A and B are shown apart, each in its own frame.
Chain A
Amino acid sequence: MIGLSIKQVFFSYGNGLVLHDIDLSVEPGEMVGLLGPNGSGKTTLIKLASGILKPGQGEIWLDGSNLNQIKRKAVARSIAVMPQQFHIPFAFRVGEVVMLGRIPFIRTLTGETEADREAVGYALELAGISELEQRRFDELSGGERQKVILAMVLAQQPELLLLDEPTVHLDITHQVEILELVRGLNRRQGLTVVAAMHDLNLASLYFDRLVLLKEGRVLADGTPAEVITENMLREVFAASVKVEAHPATGAPHVVIMPEESDHYSVD
């Protein structure tokens, strides 16, 4: 498995810095969650780590080689990326979508091989959607689609999996299923995971290490207990929150306090 090392990276889309002096090292087999409000640079950091954006300054190293000097095809053989949402314009079947994850491995002249079909079958099984294989992707529910995309990136057999808010727009069943699956792969196969997370409580439950971003800078980096504190959250988010202990795991659990507090009484 591989790690990723982001060294003094600055990035701007043209007007104003989006990321400011980011130093972040992800060891092989780690499971890291990126937290921060909208616009704090989570998605940009995921895109930089995937190599499709290039840092304005600084370097990103993938296991001893400079990420931006590796060919896309070679990158895609070790890094898979699951964006927030994919719009797929044609009426592809689920099996065909998952096969797209094999493209980095398929030779044009020979086409897909038995190994590719096996990888697709295995990915469908992992994602628990084998029975959907012949269904049309555009006719599935949002939660099912997200599982298909997860199966697609798993068919890529990555060593590093980047996820951009993988659970946004999903109901809690699908949120939990997807995060359980990813954490299972991290634990069992040592898959390195970096995910931008929108939901603080899910991040706290499923990730070993959290990185909190504010306006393109790293504000905190550590275990959920170190990062998800009332002080830290007050500094980053405008909403007022309380942090409690999760009843079963003891992980920090964020409770939102409504502004108009007349409706209830504390204590």
Chain B
Amino acid sequence: MVLLFLAVGLVLALFVASIFGTVMLSLSDVVKMTIDKLPFIDLQDTWRAADETIFFQIRLPRVVASALVGAALATAGVLFQGLLRNPMADPYIIGTSAGAALGATVAMVLPIELSLLGFGLVPLAAFIGALGTVFLVYNLARVGGKTPVVSMLLAGFVVSALLVAIISFMMAISDQLDLNIRSVYSFLMGHISVVGWEWSVFIAPLVVAGVVVARFFAYHLNAFSLGEEGAAYVGIEVERDKILILALGSVLTAAAVSIGGLISFVGLVMPHSVRLVLGPDHRLLLPASALAGAIFVVFADLLARVVLAPTEIPVGIVTAIVGAPFFLYLLRRSRREYAF
């Protein structure tokens, strides 16, 4: 019931966010254009052809990209918080953010044009950087067939610090590297940089599959709330499932940062907000967070685009400015102590 409500909300959000921009579209037009695209339905074209191009080639790719980022980050946040039993855990906690940022920065420096598939090198490099870092951190933390959570958090922290230092160094010598600091900055702040469908076509199936597969781990995550030992007592293969959940969360995070850079707050606060309202059962928490996260980023990106138009604010700033008071409100509103 809640999920249906959120799903409808997401569809509405996609349409509403699509109509705002330099050229205003009408809501009824964009709905009609979409219905027209459905198989076996042919509506009379009552809208301007230019509007159709704007909607399908500029607005819709952007709002869909935002929704993918929100769903991926919120789901990854639930996975990491549930697995690590740590309220401060977010999708970036074991180094994905630093890895992605380094990948993106290196890609900005490299004089390679990758336009074969229609997208730049930066998203690809961010994606690979994020996954590569998690792989490194996981293996650094591995001792004798086990990967203790504390070692992993520490290894993640240290590796991140090292990578951030490399990024800072590259920014310090940006003149020599011919590196555009504004691009790096915009990546670090979080900015939906995807234009067109090319990269989303590759990422969307990944995110959708990731969100669906995550739901299959709901019982495992519920079991992990007993701790690793307790989870083993109720039949969980702890080390195997830890790898699977980490890998899944990392792929989702990598997908998100490849589109939107390091958007803060969504992966941390969306899971907490949904948990405050709907409770901690991962069977509901996972899909509900994905949908709520998608809606949240779609609207945050809408604000980022229109508030100071034509200047775009990095969406990561909007998510923090809107998200922080919203979360504090939820936290204060619940009469009881929020147990974690």
Chain A contact residues, CB within 8 Å of chain B: 50, 52, 71-77, 80-81, 83, 86-93, 96, 100-101, 103-104, 106, 108-109, 111, 136, 138-139, 156
Contact = CB atoms under 8 A, between A and B. Distances in A.
A256 B4 CA distance: 64
A196 to B, nearest CB: 15
28 contacts: A50-B233, A52-B233, A72-B232, A73-B235, A74-B235, A75-B235, A80-B233, A86-B227, A88-B225, A88-B226, A89-B87, A90-B225, A91-B275, A91-B280, A91-B336, A92-B225, A92-B280, A96-B222, A96-B279, A100-B223, A100-B225, A100-B234, A103-B222, A106-B219, A108-B216, A108-B219, A136-B339, A156-B234
A103 B232 contact: no
Interface in B59-93: 85, 87
Contact of A87 (B216, B227, B232, B233): B227
B283 interface: yes
Interface of B: 85, 87, 216, 219, 222-223, 225-227, 229-230, 232-238, 275, 279-281, 283, 336-340
A76 B220 CA distance: 14
B336 A136 contact: yes
Contacts of A52: 229, 232-233
A77 B233 CA distance: 10
Contact of B236 (A74, A91, A103, A156): A103
Contacts of A136: 336, 339
B340 A90 contact: yes
A136 B279 CA distance: 10
A168 to B, nearest CB: 17
Nearest to A99: B222
A91 B234 contact: no
Closest 4 CB pairs of A and B: A76-B235, A90-B280, A104-B235, A73-B235
A98 B275 CA distance: 19
B226 A77 contact: no
B229 A100 contact: no
Contacts of A109: 216
A139 B336 contact: yes
Contacts of B85: 89
Given A52-B229, A86-B227, A92 B281 contact: yes
Nearest to B218: A108
Contact of B230 (A75, A83, A91): A83
B62 to A, nearest CB: 35
Contact of B229 (A73, A83, A92): A83
B226 A72 contact: no
Given A52-B229, A100-B222, A104-B235, 4 more contacts: A72-B235, A72-B237, A83-B233, A103-B236
B4 to A, nearest CB: 18
B85 to A, nearest CB: 5
Nearest to B85: A89
A50 B231 CA distance: 12
Contacts of B235: 72-77, 103-104
Interface centre among A89, A100, A136 (most CB of B within 10 A): A89
A3 B243 CA distance: 34
B191 to A, nearest CB: 33
A136 B338 CA distance: 11
A138 B336 CA distance: 11
Nearest to B281: A96
Contact of A86 (B216, B219, B230, B238): B230
Nearest to A106: B219
Contacts of A139: 336
Contacts of A86: 226-227, 230
B6 to A, nearest CB: 20
Given A72-B236, A111-B283, A89 B336 contact: no
Given A96-B281, A100-B226, A108-B216, A89 B234 contact: no
B339 to A, nearest CB: 4
Contacts of B233: 50, 52, 76, 80-81, 83
A132 to B, nearest CB: 16
Nearest to B337: A138
Contacts of B223: 100, 103
B230 A104 contact: no
Interface centre among A71, A74, A101 (most CB of B within 10 A): A101
A104 B234 contact: yes
Contacts of B280: 90-92, 96
B285 to A, nearest CB: 9
Nearest to B275: A90
A93 B279 contact: yes
B141 to A, nearest CB: 18
Contacts of A96: 222, 279-281
